[in-house]
Amino acid sequence: MRAPERVAPQFPTEHFFNRELSQLRFHRRVLNQAADKKVPLLERLRFLCIVSSNLDEFFEIRVSGIKEQIRLGSRGVGSDGLQAAELLDRVSKEVHGIIADQYELLNAEILPALEQEGIVFLRRSLWNEAQRAWIKDYFDREVNPVLTPIGLDPAHPFPRVLNKSLNFAIELEGRDAFGRDSGAAIVQAPRALPRVIRLPKDISDHEYTFVFLSSVLHVHVDQLFSGMRVLGCYQFRVTRNSDLFVDEEEVKDLRASLKGELQQRHFGDTVRLEVADTCSEKMEAFLLQQFLLTRRDLYSTPGIVNLVRLMQVPDWVSRPDLTYPSFLPGIPKGLDKKQDMFAAIRRQDILLHHPYQSFAPVIQLLRSAADDPQVLAIKMTVYRTGSESVLMEHLERAAQKGKEVTVVLELMARFDEEANIALANRLEEVGAHVVYGVFGYKTHAKLLMFVRREEGRLRRYVHLGTGNYHPRTTRSYTDFGLLTCNEEIGDDVAEVFKQLTGLGQATTLKHLWQAPFTLHRNVVAAINAEADAARAGKKSRIMVKMNALLEAETIEALYAASQAGVPIDLIIRGACALKPGVVGLSENIRVRSVVGRFLEHHRIFMFHAGGEQKVYLSSADWMDRNFFRRIEVAFPVLDQRLKRRVIREGLRAYLADNSQSWDMLEDGRYRRRASRGMKRSAQLMLLSDLATNS
C-alpha cells in the first residue's frame, strides 16, 4: 500500500471559514479567560501571557506563510477563497484589535487588582530614593557590563536583531569623541538578563515588588552614551519567519541539514514590529524601513512589548489564594507503585485520562521494562518529550543494559528541534537505534511498545496516546492514553514501527487507522455510513472532539451527513472551517469550544455504527497535514467498560458543559454558553471524579 496521491477536491468556497481568522477567534476566547473575574487573579495574568505566546507563533508560522505567498506572487487560495493580500489585511486588523484589548485589560484591570493584593509592577516615576539606589547598583553590577550599545553610522550598520529579542532604539543629540553625530543607536538586551526583577522586601512597601528591565535601562541609558543627550529610548521587538525548510531532493543527512537551518531561524524574514507607544514617529518609520515592513505590520503597545516575560510571575508569587487549587493526579484502581505493570495490563486494558489521572504508570512501566530481564526490546516514537525527560533516562538505561531500544525521533517537531537533536545524540551514545521516520512525513503518532518473553513466547505490550510523551504537559493538557496487550493491536503497532524503521509496502492493519494510508479514507467512510443509516431511517450519531477541523472533503462529508439527518456534535478547541447551523447545509451540526484551566488536547471520534458505538482515539486532527503529510494513528477502544468511560469523560461531559463552553455561530463568531440552572464544568467534574485534592 502506498501513500495516496493527493488531489484536493474543489468545493464551494462559501462552505468554509478561513483557518487563520478562525484561529484568531480562539485567541480571543483565551483572552476572555483573562477577562473573566471568576478566574483566579494570577491565572488571569497567565492567560494574558498565553495570548501573547500564541500570537508569537501565529506570526512566526501562519503570517509568515501568508507573506511568503504574496512575495512569490501566488494566486492560490484556500478552501475559503480568500486571496493572500486580502487575508493579510484582515489578519492585521483583527490582531491589532486583540492587542488593544489585551493591554487595556492588563493596564486597567489586572495590574491594579494585583497591586491591591500586594503584587506591584513599579513604574520608574514612582521609585523612591532607596529603590533608585538599589536599582542603580543593580544596573552597574548586572546589566551594564553585558550591554553593547551600537551607534549607527557607515562603520556600524544596523545590527542583526534576533527573533523576539528585546531591543532599544535610542535617539541621540550631539557628537561623540570621534565627531560622529548619526543621532541613533541600538542597544540589544542579552537574553541572559531577566526581564522582570524583584526588589528586596526591605526597600518595598509591598510583599512583591517588581520592576521591568526596560525601566531599569530607560533610567540609566545615558550612561551608555557619555557626553551625549538622549532624546528618546524606545523598546522594540521583531518577529521573524520561524518555519524551517529542508529540501527533500538535496538533503543527504537530515540531522546535519536541520542543524544548519536552525542556525538561521533567529534571522528569518521579519513579519512584525512591536514598539512601545512612546516611540516617536520618526523612529517608527526608521525601524520599519530597516526591517522592510509597512505600517500594517507595526504594533504599538502601551506597556512592555513582550508580555510572555510575565508568564513566570505566578510561579514566583506564593499566593495559593490567587491561583487554581492544587491537586494530585489520580491513579486508576488496582495500580500502585509496587504493582507489576505487565501483570496489570494482562488482566485488563488500562485507560489513563490526563491530567486528572497520573502519567506515572507509563513512567513506571518504562522503568520496569528497563530493569526487567524478560523485556527484550523497546520501541517508541518521540515528538516532544522535553529536554530533561525521565522517560529518556529509562530508555538510555535500557540500552545500556543491552536491550534492543529503537526510537523514532521526529527532528522536525516545531520549536523542539534542538532538544530532539540533543536527545538523538544521547541515545546513540548508549547504543540505542535512532531513526527519523520517513522523510517528508512528520511522525506524529504516539506509540510505545515492549516485547517481553513470557512462558516460552513473545508478547507485545503497547501504550498508545493522544498526546506527547512529555511529563510536564501531561499535567496541563487533556489527553487519553491506553495500555494494552491485545495481540492484534500489538501486531498493528509492530507493523507501523516496521514502516518507520525499514522499507517495504504498507500492509493492511487489523484495527489501527493510519495516515497517510487509511485514516482519511476510514474517517470519511465512517461519516458516510452514519449518513446512510439516517437515510434508511435508522439511528445515527457522530460525536467528535479535536483541536482543529479544516480538511475540506471531511467537512463536506459532515455536511452531507447533516443533510441526511445525522445529529453531529463537534467539540473543536481551535480553528474550525466548518459552518454549523446553516439551513439546508448543516442545521444538524453543533460546534462548541471549551477553554479552561487545562488545554483541551484529546482527539476522540465516536460513530453510532448501528449501536456498536465505535470509539477511536487519535493523535490526529482532521486537517490536511494530519491526513496526508504526517504519520498518525487512530486506535479503537475495544474494552466496553473503557469505551463508556471515553464517551462519558471525553464527550458527554463537554457537551453538558455550560461554564467554559462556547457555541460557534453560523457566521463564525462564538457565543459563551449561558449557565441555565446548575453550572456544569467538564474540567471541574473530571477533577472531582478522577483526581485527588492535595
Instruction: Of 375, 629, 626, 379, give the one whose Cα is nearest residue 500.
Output: 379
The phi, psi pair for 233, rounded to 5°, reads -135, 120
Number of H helices, E strands in the chain: 21, 29
Cβ–Cβ under 8 Å, residues 47 and 39: yes
The whole-angstrom separation of Cα 180 and Cα 171 is: 14
Query: What is the arrangement of strands in the sheet containing 196-198, beginning at the earlier edge strand?
Result: 119-121, 208-212, 196-198
Q: How many C-beta atoms surround the C-beta of residue 254 within 10 A? A: 16
The H-or-E segment that residue 560 falls in is helix 552-564
Pairing outcome for strands 442-443 and 630-636: parallel
Instruction: Of 317, 48, 302, 279, give the one whose Cα is nearest residue 196.
Output: 317
User: In Å, how far from its chain's centre is CA 572?
Assistant: 15
Cβ–Cβ under 8 Å, residues 326 and 687: no
Amino acid at 170: I
Residue with cell 542579552: 190
Beta strands in 221-358 (DSSP E): 229-240, 270-276, 298-301, 327-328, 350-354
Cβ–Cβ under 8 Å, residues 453 and 431: no
* Burial category of 553 from C-beta neighbours within 10 Å (exposed 0-12, middle 13-18, buried 19 and up): middle
Residues 6+ apart with CB under 8 A from 587: 562, 581
3 state SS for 126-194: HCCHHHHHHHHHHHHHHHHHHCCCEECECCECCCCCCCCCCEEEEEEECCCCCCCCCCEEEEECCCCCC
Cβ–Cβ under 8 Å, residues 362 and 448: yes
Cβ–Cβ under 8 Å, residues 526 and 554: no
The whole-angstrom separation of Cα 418 and Cα 432 is: 19
User: In Å, how far from its chain's centre is CA 237?
Assistant: 22
The whole-angstrom separation of Cα 361 and Cα 688 is: 20
Cβ–Cβ under 8 Å, residues 551 and 623: yes
Residues 6+ apart with CB under 8 A from 327: 687, 691, 692, 693, 694
DSSP for 584-595 reads TTTTTEEEEEE-
* Residue 169: HSE in the Cβ half-sphere, 13 Å Cα cutoff: 24
Cβ–Cβ under 8 Å, residues 481 and 464: yes
Catalytic residue flag (residue 470): no
Q: How many C-beta atoms surround the C-beta of residue 634 within 10 A? A: 24
Torsion over CA: 205, 209, 214, 220 (sign): positive
C-alpha cell of residue 108: 486597567
Annotated catalytic residue, options 394, 444, 520, 601: 444
First to last CA, the chain: 51
Amino acid at 218: H
Pairing outcome for strands 589-594 and 568-572: parallel
Q: Would you please indicate which residues are annotated as catalytic (active-site) residues?
A: 444
